[in-house]
Amino acid sequence: MPKKKTKIKLESLPPRERQVLDTVYKLSEGSVSDVLAALENPPGYSAVRTMLNILVQKGFLDYRREKTKYIYRPLLTEDKAHWSIFRNLLDTFFPGKPAAAVAALLNAAAGDLTDEDYREMERLIKGHRTSVS
């Protein structure tokens, strides 16, 4: 009988599990050896294998068998995973205050934004305003 997958939020993963998951996203899919080779300061082979299996149990990854290897892949698209983290950030630090969230983003990136960035943001806001009116 398959193990029941638990509903765990992406942002609640321990740092090392998150690093392994991020690596699988970067690879699109991969074996334990692939993930191990792509990790910065990797733990041992069995630790990576254990973390991949934990991420399967938690419902973040799936796998298939190819001969003697297991190939792991993310269940969520990377965009959905990022949106989940961003939504949690908004709900935690800016509940009901979207303008405050935008102000924080603008302040954080102030020196890096170009005139083109500002024009694109204006276009997005106007487009969104029009679509919900």
The CATH 1.10.10.10 portion of the chain extends over 10-74
Q: What dotted CATH number matches 10-74?
A: 1.10.10.10
CB 84 within 8 A of CB 11: yes
Residue 12 to residue 133: CA distance in whole angstroms: 36
pTM greater than 0.75: no
CB 102 within 8 A of CB 89: no
Backbone angles phi, psi at 63, to 5 degrees: -150, 160
Residues 16-48: pLDDT tens digits? 998 999 899 999 999 999 999 999 989 999 999
DSSP 67: T
Residues 73-105: pLDDT tens digits? 998 777 776 777 677 778 888 888 888 988 988
Backbone angles phi, psi at 55, to 5 degrees: -65, -30
CA distances from 69 to 7, 39, 94, 120 (A): 27, 19, 44, 46
Residue 5 to residue 97: CA distance in whole angstroms: 33
Residue 49 to residue 88: CA distance in whole angstroms: 28
Assess whether pLDDT exceeds 50 at residue 1.
Answer: no
